[in-house]
Amino acid sequence: MTTRKVGFKELMKAVYNRLDSHNLTKNYSIYNYVPRDASFPYISLGPMIGTRSDSFSARDYPAEENVITIHVWSDYKGDKEAAEMIDNIVQAMTSSPLSFDSYTELICLFDYADIMIDDTEPAKPIHHGVVRFRVHMA
């Protein structure tokens, strides 16, 4: 059986490249580490969770299931902009298979989305959207 590392680094790069180049999302700033002076709206790539994928493993090769969380941040007065950003991200991520060299089979599935209000500064509430995908990698 082939051995390999967990695919976090390659997955993060593939997700960033997809969002940075797709027509629906390429105009958003995309961060893994958000600078203090970031201007709204923007996308931040969040933490990942990885596990072995029993559904996609075979005797001769391992497979893994990684979960990636993508955050959207908007200072628009309502949730319209955050909702549009989430819709654009879902379309970009599921429009075609992700690809990178170490894996031959990548299936990206939309898991869930949520919009909440970050009102830590009451004078300037921020709409914070969370989108999560499960990526089966073999």
The DSSP call for residue 42 is: E
Cβ burial of 77 (10 Å; 0-12, 13-18, 19+) is exposed
Give the side-chain half-sphere CA count within 13 A for 120.
Answer: 2
The Cα 116–Cα 27 span in angstroms is 23
Q: Is residue 28 part of a domain?
A: yes
**Does the structure show a pLDDT above 70 at 59?**
no
Concatenating the DSSP letter of every residue in 8-21 gives HHHHHHHHHHHHHH
CATH number of the domain encompassing residue 30: 3.30.2000.30
Q: Is residue 70 part of a domain?
A: no
Q: Is residue 3 part of a domain?
A: no
> At 80, is the secondary structure helix, strand, or coil?
helix
| Residue given tokens 């075609």 in the structure block | 96
Reported as a single tens digit per residue, the pLDDT across 3-53 is 556 677 888 888 999 999 999 999 999 999 999 999 999 999 988 877 665
Q: What is the pTM of this model?
A: 0.86
Q: Is residue 1 part of a domain?
A: no
Looking at the structure of the chain, the number of domains it has is 1
Instruction: Note down the domain range covering 98.
Output: 8-65+77-137
**What is the pLDDT at residue 101?**
72
Q: Is residue 115 part of a domain?
A: yes
